[in-house]
Structure 1
Amino acid sequence: MEFKDLEIFQMVAEKGTISEVAKEFNYVQSNITSRIQKLEMELNTPLFNRHRRGMTLTPEGKVLLSYSKKLLLLTEEMKKAVQNKNEPTGKLEIGTVETVYHLPKILSTYIKKYKNVDLSLFTGVTETLEEEVLNHKLDGAFVTESDFHPDLVSHEVFNEELVLISDMKERSLGDLKEEPFLCFSEGCGYRARLETWYKDQNIIPRKVMEFGTLETILRSVSMGLGVSFVPMSSVEHMKQSGLIQIHSLPEKYSKVRTVFIRRADTYMTSTIEKFIETIEMSKQTDLILNEA
């Protein structure tokens, strides 16, 4: 049994058709078919039900899929474990919420120093990113601190103040409570904070509008579409330009901490170790600048 056969098996289980998998691996369809048949002969059991719409796993196939995922994850960890500690290489897949103000500096420092690392960045809300780190889909993620799963370990990145923002029209905080709430999807830590404030104030937002990017939220607020709750660092430039107004809420709702999470039980590769070192260096630089 070869690891490549298990990779192909997993892909067929995911895609459900030989043709899609053949395109993914740039193989002819007969090659994919023969590899699956070879695997079934070695295990002496059918792994897929074949039908007009494609292929679905048999009960035995589902068992193999569970073991296959574990084997391939261990294989990937094994490769990473033997990397040169001083010169990390390979893939590093990082997730982040959209509003990490310090992220460009961290990424730039890391990429310039470790040129052999292929770093990919994915955005999402805290809850989704936590699940993807837990399921080994991401090596780590920048998220809003919360009560994380016990299999995760977190590294503090920085503290942040959240502020309520509105357009330049003169209104009281009471008036703003009636405005539509512009936010990211469910699972966003900032959204959860403002929803708690609404609840404590016995307010039901007149309308909740979900957006996919911070830029769209900020532009919509400046044009009077509604209000939002965002990090102060991400909107200071808009305040100085006279595009928005900033309103403070009590510390209970406004003080948050951004952390970097990773699985506690995975091998600490040089790739991720050096990334965490870069985060710590960035924190020290910011501390020195703030004290100057």
Structure 2
Amino acid sequence: MELNDLKIFQTVATCGSISKAALELNYVQSNITARIKVLEKELRTPLFYRHKRGMILNPEGKRLLEQSRGILAGIERVKRTFQDKSNPSGVLEIGIVETVMALPDILSSYCRKYPNVELSLKAGVTEFLLQQVIDMKLDGAFVTGPIRHPLIEQVEVIQEKLVLVSKEKTFSMEDITQRPLLLYNKGCGYRERLESWMKTAGIIPKQIMEFGTLGTIIGSVSAGIGITIIPESSIADLVAKGTVFCHSVPEPYHEITTIFIRRKDSYTTSTLQCFMDEIVARASVKQTFFS
């Protein structure tokens, strides 16, 4: 069994068709088909349900997908072991929640010091990014903390103040029951804080509208569509212009901590170690600490 066959298999499983996998890998379709057949012959079992629209993993295929991820991840860790520790290079895949205001400083400093590293950023909510780190699809991620998981270690990056944001200068609790709440999708740490507060206070919102990006949420609040909850620092410029207004969130729901997480049992590459060193250096300036 060749490692490249496992890579081809993973791509077909992800894309759901031979044609899409061929485009992704820049292979001819006949080559993809042949390698899948070789793999199925070696394992003496079909790996896919085949239909007119593409291919879906069968139970044996799902089992191989899980095992192949571990195999290929192990090979990648071996390769990275031999990287030049003093001059890291390669790809560093980092997840981010969109409102991490300390991120530009960290990224710019890191990129200046290590120009041979290619940074790949994936935005998402905390729950999604946590799972991506656990599945080793990301080297690490900036998320809302704290995170309590046996496979995760974390570095505190910054503590911030959560505020409600609206178009109107005046605000009362009744507004939450009369105006739509504009929130990130489920799994967002800010949304969880707000929902915990509302549950404790017995507040039932009129409507929750879900969005995938900070820009869309802020734009909708600015247009007077509804109310949101985000870190105060992320909308300081708009508040200064009078475009939107901030309103306080009561204790203990008003403080939010951004942390950087990684899977503790994964190999720490030189690219990741240098990145974490940069986080700790920046965090010490802001008088934060290692969790």
Query: With structure 2 as the length reference, what TM-score do the two structures score?
Result: 0.91
Q: How many residues align?
A: 288
What is the aligned partner in structure 2 of residue 257 from structure 1? 257
What is the aligned partner in structure 2 of residue 22 from structure 1? 22
What is the aligned partner in structure 2 of residue 134 from structure 1? 134
**Alignment CA distance shift 1:172-1:23 (3 Å):** closer
CA distance in 1, matches of 2:48, 2:222: 54
CA offset at residue 49 of structure 1? Answer: 4.8
**Alignment CA distance shift 1:52-1:46 (3 Å):** same
CA offset at residue 46 of structure 1? Answer: 4.0
Q: Deviations over 1:73-112 (max 9, x none)?
A: 1011111111111111111111111110111111111112
Q: Helix, strand or coil for the counterpart of 1:158?
A: strand
What is the aligned partner in structure 1 of residue 225 from structure 2? 225
Aligned pairs for 1:105-254 (under 5 A) are 105-175=105-175, 177-254=177-254
CA distance in 1, matches of 2:167, 2:53: 52
CA distance in 2, matches of 1:110, 1:56: 41
Structure 1: state its 5+ residue gaps: none
Q: Deviations over 1:245-276 (max 9, x none)?
A: 22112220101111001111101111111111
**Alignment CA distance shift 1:78-1:176 (3 Å):** same
- Give the alignment's Cα RMSD to 1 decimal: 2.1
User: Which deviates more from structure 2 when the two are superposed, residues 176-185 or residues 209-218?
Assistant: 176-185
CA distance in 2, matches of 1:35, 1:175: 60
CA distance in 1, matches of 2:57, 2:230: 45
User: Which deviates more from structure 2 when the two are superposed, residues 29-38 or residues 134-143?
Assistant: 29-38
CA distance in 2, matches of 1:127, 1:60: 28
Percent sequence identity over aligned pairs: 51
**Alignment CA distance shift 1:55-1:178 (3 Å):** closer
Q: Deviations over 1:145-202 (max 9, x none)?
A: 0443211111110111101122234344444553221111111110111111111221
CA distance in 1, matches of 2:191, 2:262: 23
CA offset at residue 50 of structure 1? Answer: 4.5
Could you tell me whether the CA contact under 8 Å between 1:168 and 1:243 is conserved in 2? no
The one-letter code of the counterpart of 1:66 is: E
Could you tell me whether the CA contact under 8 Å between 2:238 and 2:244 is conserved in 1? yes
Q: Helix, strand or coil for the counterpart of 1:252?
A: coil
Query: With structure 1 as the length reference, what TM-score do the two structures score?
Result: 0.91
CA distance in 2, matches of 1:205, 1:169: 20
The one-letter code of the counterpart of 1:273 is: Q
